[in-house]
Amino acid sequence: MKILVINGPNLNMLGIREPDIYGKSTYKDLIEMIQSHADSKGIEVEFYQSNHEGDIVDRIQAAYENVDGIVINPAAYTHTSVAILDALKAVQLPTVEVHISAVEEREPFRQVSYVSYIAEKTITGKGFDGYIEAIDFLCEKIQKK
């Protein structure tokens, strides 16, 4: 089983600013945490981070028939990107949307998510643990297929 973990714009800056919202751990810490969880479950994970909407669309398209599921934190594109939503619809892979912060408790513009129209589950406000929950959810779902 292979799961693709996509992180959107500015998430490569984790741990550098806004620790009160996103915590003190870095993007590298996040990848290591997910990798070690995936190893313990015997599943393969691929990581992709980009600050560019079209590149994220390209990566989602490249996942078609190559991965079993997608975990995505589209970051700011969550609230604006019909293109990312359409790419996820096109590839028809089980998808979980993750947000480190509790977006529903923040500014009104963060309470709109285009990706949630396609996501089978949306996890918010659990910090990095949200990604682990997303992997576990996808694993269970894919194994039941």
Minimal distance, residue 51 CB to ligand CA2, in Å: 10
**CA 7 – CA 23 distance, rounded (Å):** 16
**End-to-end CA distance of the chain, in Å?**
12
- Clarify whether 37 is annotated catalytic: no
Residue 5's DSSP bridge partners are 47, 71
Active-site residue among 48, 99, 114, 131? 99
CB of 60 to ligand CA2, least distance (A): 16
Chain positions contacting ligand CA2, by CB under 6 A: 10-11, 13-14, 16-18, 22, 73, 75-76, 78, 99-101, 103, 110
- Marked catalytic residue, from 22, 48, 77, 131: 22
Strands of 95-99's sheet in order across? 44-49, 2-7, 69-73, 95-99, 121-124
Cβ closest to ligand CA2, residue 76 vs residue 142:
76
Could you tell me the smallest distance in angstroms from the CB atom of residue 12 to ligand CA2?
8
Separation CA 46–CA 2 (nearest Å): 8
Q: Which is nearer to ligand CA2, 9 or 46 (CB)?
A: 9
**Considering beta carbons, is residue 37 or 126 the nearer one to ligand CA2?**
126
22 belongs to the catalytic site:
yes
In the block, tokens 């994970």 appear at: 45
User: 38 in the Ramachandran plot: left (φ > 0), alpha (ψ -120 to 50) or beta?
Assistant: alpha
Catalytic residue set? 22, 99
